[in-house]
Structure 1
Amino acid sequence: MALWLYRLGRFSAHRAWLVIVAWALITALVGGAAALFMGTMSNNFQIPGTETQQMADKLKADLPDASGGSGTVVFTSTDGRTFTPAQEKAISTTLATALSVPTVKGVIDPFQTMAALKDSQAKLAEGAKALGAGEAQLADAKKTLDASAAQLAAGRARLSAGQAQLDAQQAQAAALPAGSPQAAAASAQIAAAQAQLDANKAQLTAGQEQLSAGQAKYGASAKELAAKKTELDTGRRSAEAASGLKFVSDNGKAAIGQVQFSESMNAVTPANRQLLQEKLNTLKSSGVTVDYSKDITEDVSALFGTAEVVGIAVAAAVLVIMLGTLVAAGLPLVMALVGVGIGVGGTMALTGVIEMSSISPMLALMLGLAVGIDYSLFIVNRHRQQLLAGMEMRESIAKATGTSGNAVLFAGLTVVIALAALSVSGLPFLTVLGLAAAATVAVAVLIALSLTPAILSLMGRRVISRRTWAKHAAAEKLRAADGLSATDAAARDDAVDVSRSGRGWGGLVTRHPVISLVTAVLALAVVAIPAAGLRLALPDGGSEPVDSSAYKAYTITGANFGEGMNGPIIVVGSLPAGLDQQSATALNLDVADQLRKVPNVQAAIPVAVSKNLRTAVYQVIPAEGPASASTVQVVHDLRSEGAAIKAASHVSIGLTGQTGANVDVSAKLGAALPPYLAIVVGLSLILLILVFRSILVPVLATAGFLLSLVAAFGGVVAVYQWGWLGSIFDVANPSAVLSFLPIILIGVLFGLAMDYQVFIASGMREAFVHGQSAKQAVRTGFRHAAPVVTAAAIIMTSVFSGFIFSHLTMVRPLGFALAFGVLVDAFVVRMTIIPAAMHLLGKSAWWIPKWLDRILPDVDVEGAKLVSLAETGGAGARVSETEPAAAR
């Protein structure tokens, strides 16, 4: 590998313009592709197959009107008083203008909504009053009907008695002699009585008909009254359910409007978001302050902010101090920017065909800048050393590429593998994120190995400052004046090198290895203590900067309406078949009643039902914010309540919405963390055994990585979850840690830790292989590697630190974790624990079983087997195969 890289470096140095033009062409093509095919990024962290995604798909199919995104607009009076009628009218009028914004399909006016609720309550009161009067009238009618029925019954009884009496009289009259005056008188009397009875019977029949009509009318009135009572009860239950959802605060000083979109929030373009804000911001002239939820203000289209530029500026300052010349310092920066341009540009070009979270190009940007600077720096630093040692320029470039470039290739490979391994998590957005960052790091490696040698060839001697050349020339004169042979001079230089290796930090650590080791480990253990309380969640408006509109909207909403209004939970119900509108409404209210019984649920409201009455949507308002532990428990409790709801009402429920999705994503990521960590640790051991041909060095390096990892977790929890030093890091509302931060931190920090391990331990191994004692080799290797590793760590920390104050708040804790992790790993683990432990281990640090040594391929990361080569046609200096890499 070293020989192949040597030839690549030599080719790049001899064909500098060809290499430069090739990379320029690649950059132009990638830039053009990004400009033509770039799509809209999102922060959609849904996971296919989860309940939240299944319910979202169900809503999109059954209730498309409810599947679009929505954002919240918070209104307050500028003077802090209650809204005036004029301000209320202005808010309603201005909200209506939002309908002209593309993709906005509706708005919820807080004042009109509350007025409608009050009107509904008034109508319910009137209805209840009318129902009471109707029931009273119905009761009076019932009494009248009962009295009439009683009178009719008495009349029928009298009629029956009269008929019986008349029948008896007829029997008596029949016994009288026919034609007698008595018989005639009796017949006349009976006929008159019969006529009277018939008249009474007709009157009774008419009364019965009137009673039947009255009873029919009563029955109809009773049925109508029962229907009105059912309707009133339904209205009362609906009003009670909606009472927990307010759009105007009780004190009248804040109001919440909602903007509904025809597409998901991830698809709403930055231009439409901005247009919506411009229309609503006109309310400022009416004395109304307008703030927007994170859904509306979030703009993931920009990558660079002021903080990121400051981080790069600090890295540039470190380069200038280390290399002593602006020309040399600018080279690693330019190489990093080219690599980032290609890597991130390619990533952006794919956003048109791949759904990509905003953090994907941001992570690629962070890593591309950091490793791009470091990898070029390693090659430039080796080239400078060789030039000062008298090596011919192009030969030096080739040798630097074959030696330091070899370590760069391996170090970059570890980062690429660690990032690409994120795909094993089974999370699509994390897979895209890892592959995007891995591709950018791979580009940074290729640029360091090809474009850097080409630019170095054009720079010539200017890569070293005039002052450094002058000092070197003066030192050469003094050495020549001593009259020593080359061999004696080299021996003296080696003795001086050994003497100097006992000074400084490396000497201090190796003189007191036990104290250094124990102190460093205990310090990291203490820093890692907060990691035991790690909670994972996705960010909400409370994690935004305190001066941002999203944070103000979040806090105003929480203070006036309850924290839960910032993170409603969407419940989707599958209703049984055969329902009518009335029974479906009653059933939905029954389900809402059961949902409200879940602890820490403030309100549960049925909000929509499909046309076929088979799918219903309920909005559940938790007591606390979306990232709180109690809300996470509410999500779990709602799902547990599903079985009881199914048994009681035959309605199956499922959860969706951002709050439920956040819980699912965090749970999925938490479950993926242990296997991913096992993969990374296993990979670490295998790769390091391959590189250093040792058992204990890889174990030590991996243990050090785990120490720096838990320390980084501890720092993140202390700052972003507990709020320590929150004023410094702009953490106004401490909450759970970004859910995918741990798995990303594992992958990235592993790769970077292995970078430093290679550059620190390879020098120690080479010194040991070339004759120094194991303990002295630790000091010698440390002395040669420490300056460049220190500079590289400071540069990388500076770049990552720039993202701590990024305009994308989601990136901030990740920037802190990477900066703190690199700082700890480089200075505490690699430059304290590793040299102290290896000094204690001595020769046993390099032990490896003979059978394993035989079967392992020799990757020659240090380039120790690079034979002496001369540039074709030149008189380049020759470097012995046995010369230590530190001297080259």
Structure 2
Amino acid sequence: MSSFLYRLGRAAARARVLVLALWVVVLAAAGGAALLANQGTDDTFAIPGSESQDALDHLKRVFPEVSGTSAQLVLVVPEGHKADTPAVRAAVGQAVTRLGKLDQVATVVNPFDGNVRGAVSADGRAALVAVPLKVQLTAVTPATKAQLTAIGHDLQTAVGGGASVHAGGDALSNRVPKLSPTEGIGLVIALLVLVLMFRSLIAAVMPLVTAILGVGVSMGLIYLATLVTPISSTAPMLAVMIGLAVGIDYALFLLSRHRDQLADGLDVEESVARATATAGSAVIFAGLTVVIALLGLAVAGIPFLTTMGVAAALGVALAVGVAVTLVPALLSFAGTRLRPRAPRKRRRTPRRAKPPVARWWVRTATKAPLVTVIVIVAGLAVCAVPALGLRLALPDNGAEEHGSPARDTYDVVAEHFGPGYNGPLIVTADIITSTDPVGLVNRIAGELRQLPGVASVPLATPNPKGDTGIIQVVPTTAPDSAETGELVSRLRGQEQHFLDAYGTRTAVTGITAVGIDVSAQLGSALLPFGVLVVGLSLVLLAMVFRSIWVPVKATAGYLLSVGAAFGATSFVFVQGHGAGALNVTHTGSVISFLPIILMGVLFGLAMDYEVFLVSRIREDYVHGGDPHHAIESGFVSASRVVVAAAVIMFAVFAAFVPEGSATIKPIAFSLAVGVFVDAFVVRMTLVPAVLALLGRRAWGLPPWLDRRLPVFDAEGDALVHELRLADWPGTDEAISARDLRLEDDRGRPVYDGVGIHLPRGGTLVLHGAGAGALLHTLAGRVTKFTGDLKVLGRVLPQHSHALRREVAVIPCRRAADPGRQVAEALATDAGLIVLDDVDLVLRTDLRDHLRRLLAEPRSRSGGPVSFVVTCQDPDRVADLVPATAVHLPVRSAQFAEVR
């Protein structure tokens, strides 16, 4: 990976004009296509296969009048007056007639009709005109909304006398989140942080430009995707919020590494390539974790949530792509202007240098590490307590802004009729076999009225075909309350009773029931999703740090951060503390998919900070060996970038809170809290304390696990190793080895201290206990060794896969004709041929054939071919190998260097 990124960074630097032009073209193409072809967003939340969704789909076929969205006109007369008067009845009748003529209106319910119950409030001051529509919310035209509002205004004028008419309902809601100038505050804060960090306007602006470009491309592609799949309005906003945050952070990592290298004296192109390879590897690791976590939202099995996860993952993937291609190009454009300036001397008299804040911080955190761990864990556990009362629900009109038609109507209905009228339930009954459909529906409605939690049953009627009954049930509580959820369970619990008593099947549906089902399914998906994320973090971090304790500590810290974020969100958005200061207009519940979104996004960000901070500590530990000194030095070197990245993340997320929509606001708040806690409390305080507590035990894997676990080079160590060996050994050799060591499952050396310099075309004979293991190491088949090794000019183990195409391995113990296999390898232009147990070739004709091939190898291209052979007894192969062959006995501790 790092070698590929090194070449990619160098190529992007050299072709900087082309790279920039390509990204601008992609942005223009995506944006233009989206503007011309997008179909708009669709906020229809559904769970295919759930009872509520199946019943709603059935109603669309048999009773379309009650399956679409709806509007409401609520007439309220002044105190001391009654709504039920002849004049009001006449005015309402005229309005009902006009409403019924609108194209998208299915029917209109006159509150004064004799068959309608509960449409006039108990105090007699309010009357509710229900207007079911033929279409879903996303299909309601602006003309229909304008006509509904105009008819409401005309009704208010006709009634007069201080009466008011509120036109609202779902049809007039506006839940599409929009960007506001407030979100720009996050970018301004990010710019200030970058200016203070880099002391350079060019360096500060670059991450913002690249992040905005990446977000622009992702938004264009997301809206273009509406051609083939419905996408909720939350998906683009989530992609903007996450894309901006990670886009700035990823560019910051590359830019910071590049400037450090320029300060060390590297030229611009080489520095760009190395920054792309090292910091770029960390960016790809971090981006990969976020993308996997977001795609993991599919675990819930809810299509709109899966689409949301894919959209946000697209934004993150594009941020990674921009970071490793466009950022190197812009770094090349900037040239030496990004080189940090040397600090100017302001005083001639020396003064005692103060230790940086980072050193003071890490020393304080690790002075009494056990105390630090206990205090932080206990404190975050206390912060997570409010999360026990976290209520999940889909947003309704009660979450709209104050002053909006939908919110005002919602409040008026709740005030005069009760909160349940804002979220009525629909009970469907299969009455196709009944001889008295009207009577059957009325009997069922009569029993439902007696259930606890039912305020009224205003409507009970069969459809025109008489095969399906519709019973509207109004709860006594608000749509997002726990009591309404209990009522839905109670209604569904009556299904067997109605089947036994009347022979009819019932189901509960309606927008409120669908929302309850969505919340329930999302809640049940949290555990498997959490297991997925936690398991993924353990494996990925073990791959990166080759440690058991580091992944366990990182994952535990992530769970603490998630708990604290849930607790803070519940404290504000459910319990209502500080809601006014944050402009929270609705409390009591948060959007259903907040927990799973928070867990997915925060997982990627937490792993990002973990890798960037702990990799520096590990690097210093490997080089120095003192774990406590490594914690301090690694922390000091990495803390500035981590702090800047966390502050930027926090600012971007927090900027969406004050003016954000009811959907985005709690998500942004929880992410802001989660980032703050995870970066400053967990990663920068708890992590150093835990590492100090563990000491040397923090580093290392059991040998059996180390060999089986793949290596993920998140910091580009492989490239550093490759660059260090670029000019070694100084001559073109087939095999160059220095200080090779391989251990078995118990940590005992299989071979140790091996040094080899084999010229091209030479033959190496290995014998002894470790000969077979060394042979397979030289062939690129064993990769878990230490030391320096180049075979056919390729650095191992980094390029083991590429080397295997040039090396032929022939096990003589099992081969029927080793000579024929050698000849075939020569015909395929193999550069190295290894023969294991060559002394087991006993037949005279086979030995003669093999002797001729080893003495005069001829590859297809005529290039030199080298051989490595193993044997149990070197005397038995003296007649097989050339006289110039080099012999190396391989024991458990071999320090001789062979030339």
In 1: Cα distance, 2:106 partner to 2:434 partner: 31
* Change over 3 Å in CA distance of 1:387–1:277 after alignment to 2: farther
Instruction: Show the counterpart of 1:369.
Output: 244
Per mean C-alpha deviation after superposition, the further-off stretch among 738-747 and 100-109 is: 100-109
Instruction: Show the counterpart of 1:615.
Output: 468
CA deviation profile, 1:165-205 (whole Å, cap 9, x unmatched) = xxxxxxxxxxxxxxxxxxxxxxxxxxxxxxxxxxxxxxxxx
* Change over 3 Å in CA distance of 1:570–1:460 after alignment to 2: same
User: Of 479, 489, 500, which residue of structure 2 is paired with 1:647?
Assistant: 500
* Change over 3 Å in CA distance of 1:623–1:512 after alignment to 2: same
In 2: Cα distance, 1:30 partner to 1:279 partner: 41
Partner letter of residue 305 of structure 2? L
* Change over 3 Å in CA distance of 1:584–1:799 after alignment to 2: same
Instruction: Show the counterpart of 2:303.
Output: 428
CA deviation profile, 1:519-565 (whole Å, cap 9, x unmatched) = 11111011001112223221222233334333322221111001110
CA deviation profile, 1:198-255 (whole Å, cap 9, x unmatched) = xxxxxxxxxxxxxxxxxxxxxxxxxxxxxxxxxxxxxxxxx6xx54x22x33445433
**Structure with the greater alpha carbon radius of gyration:** 1
* Change over 3 Å in CA distance of 1:249–1:763 after alignment to 2: same
Instruction: Show the counterpart of 2:127.
Output: 255
Q: CA RMSD in A?
A: 2.9
CA deviation profile, 1:801-823 (whole Å, cap 9, x unmatched) = 12223442111111111111111
Q: Does 1:752 align with 2:752?
A: no
Instruction: Show the counterpart of 1:412.
Output: 287
Query: Is the Cα contact below 8 Å between 2:554 and 2:610 reproduced in 1?
Result: yes
In 1: Cα distance, 2:280 partner to 2:300 partner: 32
Instruction: Show the counterpart of 2:515.
Output: 662
Partner letter of residue 372 of structure 2? S
Instruction: Show the counterpart of 2:326.
Output: 451
Query: Is the Cα contact below 8 Å between 2:177 and 2:237 reproduced in 1?
Result: no
Partner letter of residue 512 of structure 1? A
Instruction: Show the counterpart of 2:391.
Output: 535
Instruction: Show the counterpart of 1:778.
Output: 631
* Change over 3 Å in CA distance of 1:733–1:856 after alignment to 2: closer
**What does 1:11-90 correspond to in 2, within 5 Å?**
11-76=11-76
In 2: Cα distance, 1:389 partner to 1:806 partner: 45
* Change over 3 Å in CA distance of 1:586–1:92 after alignment to 2: closer
Deviation of residue 732 (structure 1)? 4.0
Instruction: Show the counterpart of 1:839.
Output: 692
In 1: Cα distance, 2:456 partner to 2:227 partner: 40
* Change over 3 Å in CA distance of 1:618–1:848 after alignment to 2: same
- SS of 1:680's partner is helix
In 1: Cα distance, 2:169 partner to 2:331 partner: 47
Query: Is the Cα contact below 8 Å between 1:47 and 1:665 reproduced in 2?
Result: yes
Instruction: Show the counterpart of 1:347.
Output: 222
Per mean C-alpha deviation after superposition, the further-off stretch among 387-396 and 717-726 is: 387-396
In 1: Cα distance, 2:202 partner to 2:103 partner: 50
Per mean C-alpha deviation after superposition, the further-off stretch among 545-554 and 624-633 is: 545-554
- SS of 1:804's partner is coil
Q: Does 1:722 align with 2:575?
A: yes
Deviation of residue 50 (structure 1)? 0.7
Q: Does 1:396 align with 2:271?
A: yes
Deviation of residue 429 (structure 1)? 1.1
Deviation of residue 695 (structure 1)? 0.5
Partner letter of residue 384 of structure 1? R
* Change over 3 Å in CA distance of 1:578–1:653 after alignment to 2: closer
Deviation of residue 863 (structure 1)? 1.5
**What does 1:217-616 correspond to in 2, within 5 Å?**
242-243=116-117, 245-246=118-119, 248-269=120-141, 272-273=144-145, 276-277=148-149, 280-281=152-153, 289-293=164-168, 295-301=170-176, 303-463=178-338, 469=341, 471-472=342-343, 503-577=359-433, 579=435, 583-616=436-469
* Change over 3 Å in CA distance of 1:593–1:90 after alignment to 2: closer
Query: Is the Cα contact below 8 Å between 2:42 and 2:230 reproduced in 1?
Result: yes
Instruction: Show the counterpart of 1:876.
Output: none
Partner letter of residue 27 of structure 2? T
Q: TM-score, normalised by structure 2?
A: 0.76
Deviation of residue 44 (structure 1)? 1.7
- SS of 1:770's partner is helix
Per mean C-alpha deviation after superposition, the further-off stretch among 86-95 and 50-59 is: 86-95
Partner letter of residue 49 of structure 1? G
Query: Is the Cα contact below 8 Å between 1:16 and 1:457 reproduced in 2?
Result: yes
Per mean C-alpha deviation after superposition, the further-off stretch among 825-834 and 856-865 is: 856-865
Deviation of residue 282 (structure 1)? 6.1
Q: Does 1:8 align with 2:8?
A: yes
In 1: Cα distance, 2:656 partner to 2:489 partner: 34
CA deviation profile, 1:288-310 (whole Å, cap 9, x unmatched) = 54544451343355541233233
Query: Is the Cα contact below 8 Å between 1:543 and 1:551 reproduced in 2?
Result: yes
Query: Is the Cα contact below 8 Å between 2:71 and 2:172 reproduced in 1?
Result: no
- SS of 2:716's partner is coil
Instruction: Show the counterpart of 1:236.
Output: none
Return 5+ residue gaps in structure 2 as ranges: 727-786, 789-899
In 2: Cα distance, 1:330 partner to 1:272 partner: 46
Per mean C-alpha deviation after superposition, the further-off stretch among 788-797 and 608-617 is: 608-617
Deviation of residue 424 (structure 1)? 2.1
* Change over 3 Å in CA distance of 1:259–1:325 after alignment to 2: farther
- SS of 2:280's partner is helix
Query: Is the Cα contact below 8 Å between 1:87 and 1:288 reproduced in 2?
Result: no
**What does 1:721-870 correspond to in 2, within 5 Å?**
721-867=574-720
What is the number of equivalent residue pairs in this alignment?
721
In 2: Cα distance, 1:102 partner to 1:613 partner: 25
Deviation of residue 449 (structure 1)? 0.6
In 2: Cα distance, 1:732 partner to 1:501 partner: 40
Query: Is the Cα contact below 8 Å between 2:65 and 2:133 reproduced in 1?
Result: no
Instruction: Show the counterpart of 1:627.
Output: 480
Query: Is the Cα contact below 8 Å between 1:592 and 1:605 reproduced in 2?
Result: no
Normalized per residue, which structure has more helix?
1
Deviation of residue 274 (structure 1)? 5.2
Q: TM-score, normalised by structure 1?
A: 0.76
Query: Is the Cα contact below 8 Å between 2:52 and 2:507 reproduced in 1?
Result: yes
Query: Is the Cα contact below 8 Å between 2:70 and 2:169 reproduced in 1?
Result: no
Partner letter of residue 781 of structure 1? G
Share of identical aligned residues, percent? 42
Return 5+ residue gaps in structure 1 as ranges: 118-238, 483-494, 873-880, 883-888
Which structure's relative contact order is higher, taking Cα pairs within 8 Å and 6+ residues apart? 1
Partner letter of residue 785 of structure 1? A
Partner letter of residue 634 of structure 1? L
Normalized per residue, which structure has more strand?
2
Query: Is the Cα contact below 8 Å between 2:15 and 2:329 reproduced in 1?
Result: yes
Per mean C-alpha deviation after superposition, the further-off stretch among 553-562 and 538-547 is: 538-547
Query: Is the Cα contact below 8 Å between 1:41 and 1:300 reproduced in 2?
Result: no
- SS of 2:229's partner is coil
In 2: Cα distance, 1:306 partner to 1:107 partner: 41
Per mean C-alpha deviation after superposition, the further-off stretch among 690-699 and 271-280 is: 271-280
- SS of 1:727's partner is coil
Query: Is the Cα contact below 8 Å between 2:242 and 2:316 reproduced in 1?
Result: yes
* Change over 3 Å in CA distance of 1:755–1:621 after alignment to 2: same
In 1: Cα distance, 2:657 partner to 2:194 partner: 21
Deviation of residue 101 (structure 1)? 5.4
Query: Is the Cα contact below 8 Å between 1:681 and 1:702 reproduced in 2?
Result: yes
Partner letter of residue 727 of structure 1? G
In 2: Cα distance, 1:88 partner to 1:594 partner: 31
In 2: Cα distance, 1:648 partner to 1:533 partner: 39
Instruction: Show the counterpart of 1:107.
Output: 108
CA deviation profile, 1:737-779 (whole Å, cap 9, x unmatched) = 3221111111111111111111111111111111141111111
Instruction: Show the counterpart of 1:145.
Output: none
